[in-house]
Structure 1
Amino acid sequence: MVDMLSLLPEFDHDRFDSRHRLVLVAVQRAKHLIQGAKPTGTSKFTKETTIALDEVLRGEVQFLTGKEAREALREAKRSRETETERMAAVTGEDAKEIKKELSVYVDDSVKPAAEPESEE
């Protein structure tokens, strides 16, 4: 079986330890492009997946492996949790303030009048 990566002139065997890693990096970059990230440079391709693969093969996309990657994931998770906690605290204070302001306009203590029973 012919190694498909050896057919690509831009492929750097020292950069990727396997085809699997190349695919994973290209997939992640394609997700970023689909979500609105700008391409790193000009490309002759139009599809996000092909642009992503082209960028990865040209070495324009940086990625982490091993311990560095695991530490980066932990740090990102900590950042998200901190941001979520901060937003929850702000939202709670804002909700109390909004409810206080709306209480001037809406009085929940008044019960609606009972509807008269219809005669049949």
Structure 2
Amino acid sequence: MEHIFTDQNFEERVLKSPKPVLVDFWAPWCGPCRVMSPIIDEIAGELEGRLTVGKMNVDEHPNYPGQYGIMSIPTFLVFKGGQVAEQMVGTMSKEDMLNTLQKHLG
């Protein structure tokens, strides 16, 4: 299940999460974001219980994207213990993303 992250819930749901969190920074007008959306949905289902997966609309919630220097979308940040553990930018295959995520799942 995917979560929706906002400027209001980011600290609680991402930074204070006991599990690793994948945040998809996106916008509705972004073509590559739409390409990645079904892949992110599949990963959320496959890794449920081991990884929290969610999206943050950079147009509606600019505070945290600005804080983390998100300059292009889609950008994917993996948070562990409230810190950025990994950054991925642009489109990629599901296999590549899963390979990158595996090292953060223990």
Greater fraction strand: 2
TM surpasses 0.5: no
Which protein is bigger by CA-based radius of gyration?
Answer: 1
Greater fraction helix: 1
TM-score by length of structure 1 reads 0.23
Q: Which has the higher contact order (CA 8 A, sep 6+)?
A: 2
TM-score by length of structure 2 reads 0.25
